[in-house]
Amino acid sequence: MTLRAAVLGHPISHSKSPALHRAAYARLGVTMEYTAIDVTEDALPAFMAGVREDVRQGGSWRGLSVTMPLKTGMLKEVDEVRGVARALGVVNTVAVEPAMPGDSTGASRLVGYNTDVAGIVNALRHAGAASAPTAAVLGGGGTSAAALAALKELDAPAADIFVRDVSRAAEARAAAAAVGLPVRILPLGGAAAAVAGADVVISTLPPRAADPLAGDLEQLFRQRGSGSSLEAGRPGVLLDVAYDPWPSRIAAAWQEAGGTVVPGLEMLIYQAVEQVRHFTGLGDAMPDEVIDVMCDAVGAPRRVF
């Protein structure tokens, strides 16, 4: 039987997840079909009912990658939520796992995880981000929750969250409280100086949404000049989770000023590695070199995971 997995979201045609996953399964010799499926929030319950029926009958589904706008709605569609996903209330991975011991039905279960956190942490560490960094997060949506959890794991003492509307940051506040990270919610407008002064900046904004801030940063960096210290104009590490189009305007401004830029593709690769571990059931037994073929599939430099 050909096993099946997919990435769900709306829109979804731009997703690079199929290329990453297919490369991994080919390297592992696993017969797994992986596709991109456009699913809206309204259509999610019906779609998941079909997946659940397939799982109940011992069918082919093995996992789902979940992207916007479905990461919170998926909470209600799984049997269990584990790890940091439970604290954050955000699921980006659904794995089909064996029944719990003592379950008389013997039916497999749908288990929700969040691999975005590991994706962010590993991408930032690979880029040489400082430990216990001063930190800023741009945006207060679903991905910001994973960003805050990642900063907590990196031992950041606190974080500033810059949003377009400070009255609509409940999700980010809840995530910060869940992981125990002190935060300030601040307006995105006028944030250039504070953002430029942070050791680590994670932009969770949609494509082009950071362009106005990028313009302010370009002006600020020009005024500061091109010295070798942060005070002279050299920023820290920027992870921009948006990867299409690339480079984003804020990434280009950051790199031009001498800062380190981590493309969202890096985060996508690292979180996909964790998903492959779940979907195949290999866990830590999965060969490290699988990440090499995943990098090759999307034109990213190879690295040791």
Q: What is the mean pLDDT of the chain?
A: 92
Q: What is the pLDDT of residue 227?
A: 47
Could you tell me what percentage of the chain is helix, strand and coil, using 3-state DSSP and rounding each to the nearest 5?
40, 20, 40
Q: What is the pLDDT of residue 228?
A: 40
Structure tokens at 275: 């998903």
Q: What is the pLDDT of residue 192?
A: 96
Q: What is the pLDDT of residue 266?
A: 93
Residue pair 24/272 in contact (Cβ under 8 Å)? The answer is yes
| Mean pLDDT, rounded, for 232-251 | 87
Q: What is the pLDDT of residue 7?
A: 98
- pLDDT classification of 230: cutoffs 50, 70, 90: very low
| Mean pLDDT, rounded, for 200-223 | 94
Model confidence pLDDT, tens digit, residues 143-193: 899 999 999 999 999 999 999 999 989 889 999 999 999 999 999 999 999
pTM for the predicted model, two decimal places: 0.90
Model confidence pLDDT, tens digit, residues 82-122: 999 999 999 999 999 998 776 767 779 999 999 999 999 99
Residue 285, C-beta contacts closer than 8 angstroms, at least 6 positions apart: none
Residues tagged active-site: 71
Res. 305: pLDDT tops 80: no
CA 199 to chain centre: 20
Q: Kindly report the backbone phi and psi dihedral angles of residue 68, in degrees, each rounded to the nearest multiple of 5, phi listed first.
A: -65, 145
Q: Which residue has tokens 């034109």?
A: 299
| Mean pLDDT, rounded, for 275-299 | 94
Q: Which residue has tokens 């990213």?
A: 300
Name the percent of the chain lying above pLDDT 90. 83
What is d(CA 237, CA 255) in angstroms, rounded to the nearest whole number?
9
Res. 262: pLDDT tops 70: yes
Burial class for 73, CB neighbours closer than 10 Å (0-12, 13-18, 19+):
middle
Of the given ranges (181-185, 209-213, 282-286), which has the lowest mean pLDDT? 282-286
What is d(CA 2, CA 165) in angstroms, rounded to the nearest whole number?
47
Output b/e per residue, 179-193; b: 16+ Cβ within 10 A. bebebebbebeebbe
> 70, 64, 73: which is closest to 95 by C-alpha?
64
Res. 226: pLDDT tops 80: no
Q: What is the pLDDT of residue 188?
A: 96
> 226, 291, 212, 215: which is closest to 257 by C-alpha?
226
Residue 181, C-beta contacts closer than 8 angstroms, at least 6 positions apart: 148, 149, 151, 152, 156, 158, 159
